């Protein structure tokens, strides 16, 4: 099979890691792995931001109910209080799923998670 030579100014020049003008299968594989790692990192960052946003919502929601009552919007405060249990269960499920998934994937990558217990003497 003929080597994969690049044209001058090709948009694929960044695949040529050693600068010899030939892109090897190893260079393609390396670039693919780097892109996968970057995408996985960005995905984890977005999920982490979503979880923190949800946690802040759990803190701010009751404050919103109190502010609505203090300002004089009793009906608004009552409506917010009426849907609060559903909101809190939904957000707790979301955050729980996030932390559960993190623990599961960490356990898989670390060979099972927790270290084996030491024998008693």
| pLDDT tens figures, 39-88 | 888 988 888 898 889 889 888 888 888 888 888 888 888 888 898 899 88
In a domain? residue 82: yes
Domain that holds residue 76: 45-108
In a domain? residue 51: yes
In a domain? residue 119: no
Phi, psi of 23 (to 5 degrees): -100, 115
Which token pair is 74?
């009793």
In a domain? residue 76: yes
Computed over every residue of the chain, the mean pLDDT equals 79
Number of domains within the chain: 1
In a domain? residue 70: yes
In a domain? residue 37: no
Task: Give the span between the Cα atoms of 108 and 112, in whole angstroms.
Answer: 5
CA 72-76-82 angle, to 5 degrees, is 130
Q: What is the pLDDT of residue 31?
A: 81
């Amino acid at each position: 099979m003929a080597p994969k030579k690049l044209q001058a100014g090709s948009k694929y020049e960044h695949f040529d890691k050693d600068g010899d003008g030939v892109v090897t299968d190893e260079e393609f594989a390396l670039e693919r792995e780097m892109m996968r790692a970057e995408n996985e990192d960005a995905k984890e960052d977005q999920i982490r931001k979503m979880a923190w946003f949800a946690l802040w919502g759990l803190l701010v929601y009751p404050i919103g109910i109190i502010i609505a009552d203090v300002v004089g919007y009793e009906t608004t405060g009552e409506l917010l209080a009426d849907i609060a249990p559903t909101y809190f269960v939904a957000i707790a499920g979301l955050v729980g799923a996030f932390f559960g998934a993190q623990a599961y994937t960490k356990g898989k990558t670390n060979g099972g998670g927790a270290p084996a217990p030491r024998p008693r003497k």
